[in-house]
Amino acid sequence: MWVADSWKDFEILDASEGERLERWGSYTLVRPDPQVIWQTERRGPSWSHPNAHYHRSSKGGGEWEFYDLPGQWSIRYRSLTFNLKPFSFKHTGVFPEQAVNWDWMSGLIKASQRPVRVLNLFAYTGGATLACAGAGASVTHVDASKGMVSWAKENALSSGLSEAPVRWLVDDCLKFVEREIRRGNHYEAVIMDPPSYGRGPRGEIWKLEDSVFSLIERCTLLLSEDPLFFLINSYTTGLQPAVLSYMLGLTAAKKYDGVVEADEIGLPVTETGFVLPCGASGRFFRK
């Protein structure tokens, strides 16, 4: 498992009975996690007196209960600063487990010692974008949500990267990829963090298992003659690491010499010393 264990401003303090007790900077949050199926004693005052608690509804979704939490605050990871705020469906604006991939990508970009163009699809609030830009790459950041792209720009400003070579695009990722193919544009690296479900601009239903392989195939056409890496993340139960590895093997690795690897990504739990799985990643890269 690839573990994001270098955080200073974030930690999972404990996990029990379907919930995680987390520290985000100076604030503690309790959020649901369906993988936490064990029942253990909840020790310490933070369980009883968090700054906010997201309660999941039996009908789907849920809502926040706030006790003492500002509308927005920030945390740092290495040289990057992320602005946080609680919003619908339990999220805060950062997926901390992805830090293990940020470090991996940054290391490859720095070691390459050449210009690297990165395409970041479903780019959310810009964690991967900022990691790559901070390592010296030029990045095309694409997300269908105007609000998420604006949030990513705020994170870039807070991280001292507002002047970095980043194209911020509000666009449908699938349609953008098709246009880039027609335009003949290429990238040394592609990052994909597609949602499990979604809807296109005309109401088309996106289901990851049905669409992800064709998207990987199309994105492989966007790789330059000397690509550096291709990263795909999955939070969908059916897409295990071996499946991600298989798909990259049939696409990027079939076209270029390189290495394919895949694994779960996770976060350490302070109370137990164990690691909580938080999804999976597949990587193709050239050494």
Greater confidence, 108 or 199? 108
Q: What percent of the chain has pLDDT over 90?
A: 87
Evaluate if residue 205 carries a pLDDT over 70: no
Q: What is the pLDDT of residue 236?
A: 84
Region 47-66: mean pLDDT is 92
The least confident of 132-146, 235-249, 268-282 is 235-249
Sorted by where each begins, the domain ranges of the chain are 2-84, 96-285
The answer to whether 2-84 and 96-285 have equal CATH topology is no
Q: What is the pLDDT of residue 238?
A: 74
Q: Under a CB-based contact definition with an 8 Å cutoff, are residues 28 and 21 in contact?
A: yes
Over residues 175-186, the pLDDT tens digits come to 999 999 999 999
Class of domain 96-285: alpha beta
Q: What percent of the chain has pLDDT over 70?
A: 96
Mean of the per-residue pLDDT values of the chain: 94
Q: Under a CB-based contact definition with an 8 Å cutoff, are residues 231 and 190 in contact?
A: yes
DSSP assignment of the chain: -EE----SSEEEEEEETTEEEEEETTEEEEEE-TT--------SHHHHS-SEEEEEPTTS-EEEEESS--S-EEEEETTEEEEE---STT--S--GGGHHHHHHHHHHHHHH-S--EEEEES-TTSHHHHHHHHTT-EEEEEES-HHHHHHHHHHHHHTT-TTSSEEEEES-HHHHHHHHHHHT--BSEEEE---SEEE-TTSPEEEHHHHHHHHHHHHHTTB-SS--EEEEEE--TT--HHHHHHHHHHTHHHHS--EEEEEEEEEEBTTT--EEEEEEEEEEE--
Q: What is the pLDDT of residue 197?
A: 67
What is the CATH architecture of 2-84? Answer: Sandwich (2.60)
Q: What is the pLDDT of residue 67?
A: 96
Over residues 16-48, the pLDDT tens digits come to 999 999 999 999 999 999 999 999 999 888 999
The least confident of 85-89, 146-150, 201-205 is 201-205
pLDDT band at residue 59 under the 50/70/90 scheme: confident
